[in-house]
Amino acid sequence: MLIINCPYCGPRDQSEFSNGGEAHVKRPDGSKEIGDREWGEYVFIRANPKGLFYERWVHTHGCRKWFNCVRDTSTDEILVTYKLDEKKPNLNNFKSVVKTPSGEPEVGSGNFTVEK
Amino acid sequence: MKSINLKENQFIQFHQKISFKFDGVKYFGYKGDTIASALLRNNINLVGRSFKYHRPRGIYTCGIEEPNALVQIISEYSEPNTRATIKKIYEGMEIESQNRWPSLENDFGSINNLFSPIFTAGFYYKTFMGPHKKFWKNLYEPLIRRAAGLGKPPKDFKGISNHIHHNVDVTIIGGGLNGLLAAKSFINSNYDVLLIEFEEQLGGIINNSNKISLIDNKEPKDWLKETIQEIEESKNVKILKNTLVTTYNYINHLIAIEDRFVGYKPIEGKVNSTLHKIRTGHTILCNGHIERFLSFQNNDLPGIMLSSSFEKYMCRYGLAPSKEPVIFSNNSNSNSLVYSLIKAGLKPKAYVDSRSGEEIEPNLFDLIRKNDVPLYTNSQIKGAFGNKKIEKILVEDSSGALNEIKCDCLCLSGGINPDVHLFTQSKGLLDWDEKDLTYKPSKPFQPTITLGSASGQFNFDNLNSDVNEKLKTFKVKKLDVKLELNTNTKYNIEKLWEVSPQKKSLWAKSFIDLQNDVTTKDIRQAITEGFDRIEHLKRYTTNSMGTDQGKISSINALGIVSDLLDKKVNEVGTTIYRPPYAPLSFSAIAGRNCYEFYDPERKSPIHSWHLKNGAIFEDVGQWKRPWYFQINKDESMHDAVQRESINVRENAGILDGSTLGKIEIKGEDALEFMNLIYTNSFTKMKQGSARYALMLGEDGMVKDDGIICKISDQHFIATTTTGGAATVLGCMEEYAQTEWPNLKVFMNSITEQYATFNISGPKTREIMKKAFPNINFSNEEFPFMTFQFHEFNGIPIRILRASFTGELGYEIYIPSNSAPKIWDNIQSVGKEFGLAPYGTEAMHLLRAEKGYIIVGQDTDGSITPIDLGLSWMIGKSKKDFLGKRSLTRSDTIREDRKQLVGIIPSNKADKLEEGQHIILDKEIKSPVPMLGHITSCYYSSTLGHDFALAVIKNGHSMIGTKAYASTSSMSTTGVDIVKPVFYDEDNKRLVS
Ligand SMILES: [Zn+2]
């Protein structure tokens, strides 16, 4: 469970929010010709990294505003939240974050608590 | 086992007798007793039967780590698997032992013990996989289901739990010596601190043992009293007692459960537990250590107990479970038990230590010699024997000779482990300590600090410096506490996991997991069969998979495995300890989110009228909607639905449509926004007109439909399906904020602000005229798909001429508060025209006759508007709208997509069934190529036969052909594929 810092309301319980998937995915301009591949990637393809991830959230049971954040998918920690019209932060600013907890393998989820 | 009460004890009120029942027999204990201590006082030690073999089991420990003494509390909603070692008794408590039949003394299932060769490691897997499938189903499974298991699940769910949230800087888990010292440092600092103790009293080892003689030159209990008072008086430290932290999540989020009725019967209807959800900056783990047992033949006999548990019964409960126990140890932790026994005027029957004489601490040696306790050094207990209780043990002494010792109690100590469960839940790393032979916390993953024995500090030498050093990041007081000990020793242990048996027998077993009945032989067998990875081995043998998670035995298993594999324990690794630390009841997790609060019910403003008029309700999302109205108790659903639908076709019906989603859209750019959200174009639409509209997902599939009323280019009101209201509003808000933030548009839900009545049928106009005499309902003044605002008796109303039944119809929108009045008025003026209410089922039938779809019934997220034959609704000239580009994807323009068609049985008397397949062949010969399926199906009194809507491959071009529908009795019915409209195809009635 997380405390999420809504850029409009401040820190609130995770249960007030809904996740909206990857952030900064641009919707192709409908007034122009859009290729099958470009459109298909917009509709169906999203990144799913283990580690730092730009993500959209909405304060559903609050101000109902959408905002962006950087979340570490391996620890669930939300490192920063920012408004939609703000520039996305550089992921290199968050280098100190552990990529995988407790020496788990980088890919997949492990049961290893013991460092090899 | 003959126990004796010790004089005077600060925690037990010997003057206050309490009576309770165990397996129907009445016993007495004292205020402050747990079930276990009270039973031991009554010399009862057989308290349960084991999981698989139904072996007699007794009380093994004095705390939460208990593997055996699990009981069912009959007087408390029949709560099963309660640990007798922590649950306090109260007057009138009723307790039953578990997993025995017909009685604890004479248990039929104990015959399993003799069948034990078939119950070995991997038994369940092997039997499942084996060639004797019928054997499993008919013989093994019923037998095992009856025989294996713990308590019985309670019939009712009655416990009430509250949830409380905390947000603190520091949480100290464990109110023992180190927890108190940590809390003491934080007194009157600028930190919000929570101190959580599982037991009723703070103090831990100070209360539970005689290890410490003086603290700051005071009696430990006096020091304790002063310290607790200081903490209680501080402004910033809050103490939670009777509270167990069960879960340590990411981001320092803790879950703890507080028992609100310790030593009292929970009052029905009162909150009996509180679930604390704690968010904390730092967590300080002071949750101490757990003693482990040793494996030897019959190490599960009642009368065998951990040595520190025996000492805890003496110190905490004023009770020596036996007057002369034998002690068997491989370490120095049991020294204080010898001291406590002698201090109480008792004497061990023998002291058996696997260590050599030189390794045994000199002061223990002196104590034993001075009191003439028979001492066996370099010795091991080969086995314990007795009928339902320990009667004798076999000791192999340093010369290899066997000595038989008669005894009624054996105290075991196989060493101690830091209680690392919470630390590993937090994803902290463990490291094997080769000297102390245990896993100790090394690298924390979160802001976690471990103190005292929880961190693996088994000696008291560095008490002050350890606390001061680890708390130095905080601005807190430095500690300087002086400690003196009764048994002044450093922790010392010799490796011993298992004593090999003297001779093998079928009955004699050496257990490694008491709760799950796993033997050391099972571990060997699993390794022989190739399960040498510790996580595999755990699952194959079920070792440490009981409700106790192998608290007293899982490290022993790792030791045995590492010896067998000839690896270091660190290389073998450890299995993960998972939350919860101890079982958490479902009622605690559910909190108040149960019964009527589980999922809120939404009711229309007319709900009470429906109740009075025979409505049978159906759930639509959270809404209660009238399904149909029963005119008398004997009317069947079929009859009611047919009556209601015919009445709409012949006279008029009224439907409470208040649950329909209603969204108001306003703003300078509202028109452009609506054009982007819906498939339709609203640009050329006249003010005051309405339009049936579709909303797609970006994948081009139909997500919702509704009627859009255009008040002006800057103001629209949209209706949505009952279930889709929140999603549609959410989708509009999302796109307005994320994709088109330049558009000036606002939207708001007005679903609950307005009631909606749908009136339809040939006589509707007459009824409306009479109900609203000032309004002109003629075709010229009020054409189909237009709406008007009016005032009626001072109530602002909006009337929309639209229909979902195919008849002439109007929808009236009324502020919810005024709705019942107008509803009643329409009912009374409509009576002479035969107006009757109809429910959702008749509505479904009527709309299906007309071929109108229901999103979510006739569509399933894989259907495009083109598949539905609704291409006319797509604003093709529009540059963009949700999902537009997807309508020309290679997949959506495929020819063999499933498309909406109508189905009627070729022989009109035949029945159709919803969900059945449409196939081409009369004969069902597998594999059967399936064209699609029936999405809606009804009997229509108007048509006089069954009819259906279906989605089938290439359906539009199959109209006019014949096919077959499968039936639930595995046969087929010949059907005609027709256009999906069965009634008034030219819309004559709609615009009449
Ligand atoms: Zn907010």
pLDDT digits (tens, 9 = 90+) for B52-80: 888 899 999 999 999 999 999 999 888 88
The answer to pTM > 0.90 is no
Residue of chain B whose Cα is closest to the Cα of A75:
B250
Higher pLDDT, B508 or B865: B865
Assign B250 a pLDDT band (cuts: 50, 70, 90): confident
B850 lies within 8 A of chain A by CB: no
Q: Does residue B962 sit in helix, strand or coil? A: strand
**Phi, psi at B259, each rounded to 5°:** -85, 120
B164 lies within 8 A of chain A by CB: no
A3-94: CATH superfamily: Folate-binding superfamily (3.30.2270.10)
Q: What is the pLDDT of residue A88?
A: 94
Q: Angle at CA B901, nearest 5°, toward B900 and B904?
A: 145
Assign B328 a pLDDT band (cuts: 50, 70, 90): very high
Are B99 and B51 in contact by the 8 Å Cβ rule? The answer is yes
Query: What's the mean pLDDT when you consider all of chain B?
Result: 92
B691 and B791 in one domain?
A: no
B900 and B981 in one domain?
A: yes
Min Cα separation B252/chain A (Å): 9
Nearest to B429 among A39, A64, A102 (CB): A102
How many residues would you count in chain A? 116
**Phi, psi at B124, each rounded to 5°:** -60, -45
- How far is residue B291's CA from residue B419's CA, in Å, rounded to a whole number? 9
- How far is residue B141's CA from residue B963's CA, in Å, rounded to a whole number? 45
Amino acid code (one letter) for B116: S
Q: How many Cβ atoms are within 10 Å of B23's Cβ, its own excluded?
A: 16
Q: Mean pLDDT across the stretch B312-340?
A: 96
Torsion sign across C-alpha atoms B617, B620, B623, B625: negative
Q: Mean pLDDT across the stretch B20-29?
A: 96
B886 lies within 8 A of chain A by CB: yes
Q: What is the pLDDT of residue A74?
A: 75
- Which residues on chain B are in Cβ contact (under 8 Å) with A7? none
Centre of ligand 1 from the C-alpha of residue A63, in Å? 4
- Which residues on chain B are in Cβ contact (under 8 Å) with A43? 698-699, 886
Q: What is the pLDDT of residue B139?
A: 59
Q: What is the pLDDT of residue B488?
A: 75
- How far is residue B760's CA from residue B261's CA, in Å, rounded to a whole number? 60
The DSSP bridge partners found for residue B406 are B392
The token pair that represents B938 in the structure block: 């009804």
Centre of ligand 1 from the C-alpha of residue A16, in Å? 9
Q: Say yes or no to pLDDT of A113 above 50.
A: no
Q: How many Cβ atoms are within 10 Å of B595's Cβ, its own excluded?
A: 8
Residue of chain B whose Cα is closest to the Cα of A116:
B571
Q: How many Cβ atoms are within 10 Å of B317's Cβ, its own excluded?
A: 25
User: Which strand (E) or helix (H) includes residue B52?
Assistant: none
H helices of chain A, where?
Answer: 36-44
- Which residues on chain B are in Cβ contact (under 8 Å) with A20? 734
Contact A56 B879 (CB under 8 A): no
How far lies B674's CA from each of A15, B677, B724, B750, in Å?
31, 5, 17, 17
Name B878's Cβ contacts closer than 8 Å, sequence gap at least 6.
Answer: B675, B681, B884
B525 and B396 in one domain?
A: no
- How far is residue B38's CA from residue B40's CA, in Å, rounded to a whole number? 5
Contact A111 B575 (CB under 8 A): yes
Higher pLDDT, B535 or B351: B351
Nearest to A113 among B250, B279, B574 (CB): B574
B688 and B648 in one domain?
A: no
- How far is residue B247's CA from residue B186's CA, in Å, rounded to a whole number? 24
Q: Mean pLDDT across the stretch B623-636?
A: 96
Of B168, B939, B539, B10, the residue nearest A3 (C-alpha): B168
Domain positions in chain A: 3-94
Nearest to A65 among B165, B737, B884 (CB): B737
- How far is residue B868's CA from residue B890's CA, in Å, rounded to a whole number? 18
B973 and B899 in one domain?
A: yes
Q: Mean pLDDT across the stretch B268-284?
A: 93
pLDDT 10s digits, B470-496: 999 999 999 999 999 998 778 999 999
Q: Say yes or no to pLDDT of B505 above 80.
A: no
Domain boundary among B112, B131, B155: B155
Domain boundary among B699, B718, B749: B749
- How far is residue A30's CA from residue B671's CA, in Å, rounded to a whole number? 17
Sheet holding B795-800, edge to edge: B787-792, B795-800, B809-815, B754-760, B652-656, B835-837
* Any domain includes B504: no
The token pair that represents B534 in the structure block: 């510790």
User: Which of B885, B893, B894 to mutate: most A Cβ within 10 Å?
Assistant: B885
Listed range (B400-409, B532-541, B970-979) with the worst mean pLDDT: B532-541
- How far is residue B786's CA from residue B778's CA, in Å, rounded to a whole number? 12
Assign B156 a pLDDT band (cuts: 50, 70, 90): confident
* Any domain includes B905: yes
- How far is residue B951's CA from residue B702's CA, in Å, rounded to a whole number? 14
Q: Say yes or no to pLDDT of A109 above 50.
A: no
The DSSP bridge partners found for residue B28 are B19
Centre of ligand 1 from the C-alpha of residue A56, in Å? 13
B138 and B18 in one domain?
A: yes
**Phi, psi at B727, each rounded to 5°:** -65, -45
pLDDT 10s digits, B228-238: 999 999 999 99
* Any domain includes B96: yes
- Which residues on chain B are in Cβ contact (under 8 Å) with A56? 738
- How far is residue B555's CA from residue B439's CA, in Å, rounded to a whole number? 8
Assign B123 a pLDDT band (cuts: 50, 70, 90): low
CATH assignment at residue B105: 3.10.20.440
Domain of residue B340: give its range: 293-414
Q: Mean pLDDT across the stretch B621-650?
A: 96
Contact B880 A77 (CB under 8 A): no
How far lies B556's CA from each of B422, B461, B494, B550, B638, in Å?
19, 27, 13, 10, 67
Q: What is the pLDDT of residue B377?
A: 95
- Which residues on chain B are in Cβ contact (under 8 Å) with A36? 889-890
Q: What is the pLDDT of residue B130?
A: 47
Q: Mean pLDDT across the stretch B343-353?
A: 95
B699 lies within 8 A of chain A by CB: yes
Q: What is the pLDDT of residue B124?
A: 59
Q: Say yes or no to pLDDT of B271 above 70.
A: yes
- How far is residue B652's CA from residue B763's CA, in Å, rounded to a whole number? 6
B149 and B40 in one domain?
A: yes
Residue of chain A whose Cα is closest to the Cα of B880:
A30
- Which residues on chain A are in Cβ contact (under 8 Å) with B445? 98, 101-102
Domain boundary among B547, B572, B597: B572
pLDDT 10s digits, B749-784: 999 999 999 999 999 999 999 999 999 999 999 999
pLDDT 10s digits, A41-55: 999 999 988 788 999
B302 and B391 in one domain?
A: yes
Centre of ligand 1 from the C-alpha of residue A81, in Å? 11
Q: Angle at CA B925, nearest 5°, toward B919 and B926?
A: 95
Q: Say yes or no to pLDDT of A96 above 70.
A: no
B719 and B766 in one domain?
A: no
B253 lies within 8 A of chain A by CB: yes
* Any domain includes B696: yes
Burial of A85 (0-12, 13-18, 19+ CB in 10 A): exposed
**Phi, psi at B729, each rounded to 5°:** -60, -45
* Any domain includes B499: no
Q: What is the pLDDT of residue B108?
A: 67
Contact B738 A56 (CB under 8 A): yes
B782 and B655 in one domain?
A: yes
* Any domain includes B782: yes
Of B289, B307, B244, the residue nearest B555 (C-alpha): B289
Q: Mean pLDDT across the stretch B662-685?
A: 97
Q: What is the pLDDT of residue B743?
A: 97
Query: Which residue is listed with tokens 């001061």?
Result: B468
List, as one string, the DSSP characters of B799-815. Answer: EE---SSSSSEEEEEEE
The DSSP bridge partners found for residue B243 are B258
Q: Does residue B899 sit in helix, strand or coil? A: strand
B129 and B32 in one domain?
A: yes
Q: Could you give the ipTM of this predicted complex?
A: 0.91
Assign A114 a pLDDT band (cuts: 50, 70, 90): very low
pLDDT 10s digits, B679-692: 999 999 999 999 99
CB pairs under 8 A between A and B: 83
Min Cα separation A107/chain B (Å): 17
pLDDT 10s digits, B167-224: 999 999 999 999 999 999 999 999 999 999 999 999 999 999 999 999 999 999 999 9
Are B81 and B150 in contact by the 8 Å Cβ rule? The answer is yes
- How far is residue B7's CA from residue B9's CA, in Å, rounded to a whole number? 7
* Any domain includes B211: no
Nearest to A84 among B279, B741, B889 (CB): B741
Contact B880 A40 (CB under 8 A): no
Residue B937: half-sphere exposure toward Cβ, Cα within 13 Å: 21
Contact B741 A85 (CB under 8 A): yes
B10 and B129 in one domain?
A: yes
Q: Mean pLDDT across the stretch B899-919?
A: 96
Nearest to B279 among A3, A20, A40 (CB): A3
* Any domain includes B101: yes
Q: Does residue B989 sit in helix, strand or coil? A: coil
Centre of ligand 1 from the C-alpha of residue B742, in Å? 21
How far lies B325's CA from each of B290, B838, B908, in Å?
21, 80, 88
Total domains in chain B come to: 6
Q: What is the pLDDT of residue B700?
A: 96
Nearest to A66 among B535, B698, B737 (CB): B737
Q: Say yes or no to pLDDT of B102 above 80.
A: no
